[in-house]
Amino acid sequence: MKAGALLFAALAGSAAATTTTFSSKLASRQDEGAEIQAASFGPQQLKASSAPNAVSMKVLREKKVQQHQKDREEGVFDLNRYKLQSAAACENGKSGEYSCSNVDLRGFLRHQDMQSRTREGNDFGLVGQTDGTAFVEVEKDGSLSYVGRLNTQTVASSWRDIKVIGNYAYIGSEAPNHGLQIFDLRKLLNVNKANPVTFRTSTGSDSGLTALFTGFGSSHNIVANEETDTVFAVGTDTSLPCRGGLWMIDVSNPARPQDAGCVSNDGYVHDAQCVIYKGPQAAYRGKEICFNYNEDALTIVDISRRALPRQLSRTTYNGATYTHQGWTATDDHRYLLLDDELDEQEGTGPAADGHTTTYIVDITDLTYPVFRGVYKSPVRSIDHNQYVVDGISYQSNYGSGLRMVNVSSITDDDSGAQFEEIAHFDVRPEDDEVGGEVTFNGAWSVYPYFNSGYLLVNSIERGIYSLKHNPRP
């Protein structure tokens, strides 16, 4: 098998350990009127009228810890609570026990099952867990096989994030003194198929790691820009030089990562997307631009000159409670979609009814972004991560699971009125009867980039799902 034929999925965010799993959530009852409510939120209604009443990561982390402790006491993380589920087509709104629409289940591994065997294949998934990173292989039929794991560098943590550039994985965690693990994924090709491997966390010729970057200890998320061979750690200790902002690391030589400086003027960054700008503003075209999600605002920064990063804008919005993550919605970098992790739970702004709310931002002018509208999901749940591929936003929305939303109308109508959910797969059937809950259980991330079309969704409680979009007439 040639390394060049491989595709790697890094399921960002973190997940459950093989010994103490984490979440999965919501249901899929649709409420009438969601789209009508969304239509009333245009640029004027979305403009922040006062300073946002957003919370810090410290407060958000404590909310999640309390939720997980409650779940643990109720046995949600008990091993063997969840049954193995074989492949099942989505028929009459169900794939096995799961609510669905136009998405088939092709494979599933519980967290405790990721100690098995592997077969030939080209696609690998990297699954963040409490005590390390698991490697799974996506087979030709979409089923999943466990290949091995890389343990945490120090101690367990509920937060672990992974990004891939080329053949290397870059792994950070909220675990104290963890640093950035750099792992050569080609090692997976040499695994004895009958004996999954636990790779060592030391560096050197006979060790598991290619390198360990220790400029920082803990981090919340890892961001990667393949076009510039740069990895960014965000959410590091705010007492360090980067103040929790973008910590830039040059990984053009993965064996020798180099500190490339900080973007610290806007403080803590929760997540970001960094791109080579292809948008309409000639002054920035070809430059490296980062869209930062900074707890209470969208901050856009030009980092082309590493030593002199320049903040272009900082924009907040009505309902800002925890500006969490987002993704550019068009290849020409005219729009992005933004998700706020706490607006549904706190009932703020357009998300007052608890329905997952996606904010539509016009970034035609990087110095003056405008919040144009919102898309309201037909179900209640908290949003977490989304990625846009070919006009489809793949959203991992905690308890309501994977939601696939056609956003291709954005260039003609940026109000969100024409956005349409085309498919979903709900990873938590337990709360279907109550119409969903706005709690921190469920799908934490989705990977929609395999050439095979398979989708990986990481459930905090249960494990890893391999899914396939299968539109019905």
Please provide the DSSP assignment of 39-88 as one string.
Answer: HT--HHHHS-SS---PPPHHHHHHHHHHHHHHHHHTTTT-TT-S-----B
Which amino acid is located at 359 in the chain? Y
Where is 404: in which H helix or E strand? Answer: strand 402-406
CATH, range 3-469? 2.130.10.10
User: What tens-digit pLDDT sequence spans the chain (473 residues)?
Assistant: 333 345 556 664 444 432 222 222 222 334 434 443 555 778 878 887 677 777 787 787 787 778 767 877 777 766 566 666 678 999 999 998 899 999 999 988 866 555 322 233 368 999 999 999 999 999 999 999 999 999 999 999 999 999 999 999 999 999 999 999 999 999 998 887 679 999 999 997 778 999 999 999 999 999 999 999 999 999 999 999 999 999 999 999 999 999 999 999 999 999 999 999 999 999 999 999 999 999 999 999 999 999 999 999 999 999 999 999 999 999 999 999 999 999 999 999 999 999 999 999 999 999 999 999 999 999 999 999 999 999 999 999 999 999 999 999 999 999 999 999 999 999 988 877 777 789 999 999 999 999 899 999 999 888 999 999 999 87
d(CA 399, CA 180) in angstroms, rounded, equals 30
Q: How many residues does the chain have?
A: 473
In this prediction, residue 203 carries a pLDDT of 92
Closest by alpha carbon to 300, among 316, 280, 320, 282? 316
Residue 433 is predicted with a pLDDT of: 79
Phi/psi at 24 (nearest 5 deg)?
170, 150
A 10 A CB-CB count for 473 gives 2
CA distances to 75, 76, 233, 447 from 82, in Å = 11, 9, 34, 23
Cβ atoms < 10 Å from Cβ of 46: 21
Is residue 431 within 8 Å of residue 437, measured between CB atoms?
Answer: yes
Strands in 230-234's sheet, in edge-to-edge order, are 221-225, 230-234, 246-250, 258-263
pLDDT of residue 434: 78
- Ramachandran bin of 434, using left for φ above 0, alpha for ψ from -120 to 50, beta for the remaining angles: alpha
This prediction's pTM: 0.85
* Terminal-to-terminal C-alpha distance of the chain: 37
Element (H, E) at 370: strand 370-380
**Rounded to an integer, what distance in angstroms lies between the CA atom of residue 123 and that of residue 136?**
9
* Backbone φ and ψ of 59, nearest 5°: -70, -45
Amino acid, res. 199:
F
Reference 181, options 228, 225, 128; nearest CA is 128
* Of 76, 91, 159, 127, residue with least CA distance to 461: 76
394 vs 108, 238, 384, 407, 429, CA distance in Å?
Answer: 19, 31, 11, 10, 20
The C-alpha atoms of residue 188 and residue 92 are separated, in whole angstroms, by: 39
User: How many CB atoms are located within 10 Å of the residue 408 CB?
Assistant: 17
Give the pLDDT score at 1. 33
Between CA 198 and CA 442 the distance in angstroms is 27
Distance from C-alpha of 102 to C-alpha of 422, rounded to nearest angstrom? 7
Task: Characterize the bridge pairing of strands 160-165 and 144-151.
Answer: unpaired
- 422, 465, 426: which is closest to 442 by C-alpha? 426
Distance separating alpha carbons of residues 360 and 364, to the nearest angstrom: 12
CB 430 within 8 A of CB 398: no
- Reduced to 3 states, what is the DSSP secondary structure of residue 162? strand
Say how far apart CA 276 and CA 287 lie, in whole Å: 5
Measured distance CA(128)–CA(460) in Å, rounded: 10
CA–CA distance, 217 with 44 (Å, rounded to integer): 42
Measured distance CA(243)–CA(263) in Å, rounded: 9
Cβ atoms within 10 Å, residue 342: 23
| DSSP string covering 208-230 | SBSEEE-S-S--SEEEEEGGGTE
The domain limits of the chain are 3-469
Conformational region of residue 458, where left means phi above 0, alpha means psi within -120 to 50, and beta covers everything else: beta
CA distance 97 to 110: 15
Q: Residues 268-309: pLDDT tens digits?
A: 999 999 999 999 999 999 999 999 999 999 999 999 999 999
- 339/377 Cα distance (integer angstroms): 12
**β-pair type (335-340, 323-328):** antiparallel
